């Protein structure tokens, strides 16, 4: 079989270039519309492509510098950061946004 077994709906974004790298995220058509295609390019040539949850694609753009650092270090650390929920880090302290108003708090 040749060619992709998925169909691209539309390109969501292409990142600015960072040290010769850039990323492109594309939404997919059903039945794969819960995922997006992520393509990583280096000096204009496709380096990697993979599926990623569509709701998290902006993490790839936000962590492109980390992804590039990882690529240059031969590490997947940047991809792990982009895939993270952020809740698995021991450095995050979750506190209520507000205290319920009660007689004790007045």
Q: Express each pLDDT in 44-89 by its tens digit.
A: 999 999 999 999 999 999 999 999 999 999 889 999 999 887 666 5
46: nearest Cα among 13, 73, 24, 16: 24
Question: 0.85 cut: is pTM over it?
Answer: no
Please report where in the chains the tokens 């031969």 appear, as a residue.
74
Any idea what the Cα angle at residue 18 is, between residues 53 and 67, rounded to 5°? 40
Give the helix/strand (H/E) hosting 9. Answer: strand 8-14
* Residue 95 banded pLDDT, cuts 50, 70, 90: low
Q: Express each pLDDT in 3-49 by its tens digit.
A: 668 899 999 999 999 999 999 999 999 998 999 999 999 999 999 99
């Amino acid at each position: 079989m040749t060619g992709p077994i998925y169909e691209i709906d539309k390109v969501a974004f292409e990142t600015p270039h960072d040290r010769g790298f850039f990323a492109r995220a594309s939404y997919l058509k059903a039945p794969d519309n819960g995922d997006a295609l992520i393509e990583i390019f280096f000096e204009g040539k496709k380096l990697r492509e993979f599926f990623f949850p569509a709701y998290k694609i902006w993490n790839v753009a936000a962590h492109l510098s980390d992804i590039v650092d990882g690529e240059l270090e031969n590490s997947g650390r940047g991809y792990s950061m982009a895939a993270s929920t952020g809740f698995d880090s021991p450095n995050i302290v979750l506190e209520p946004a507000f205290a319920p108003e009660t007689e004790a708090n007045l």
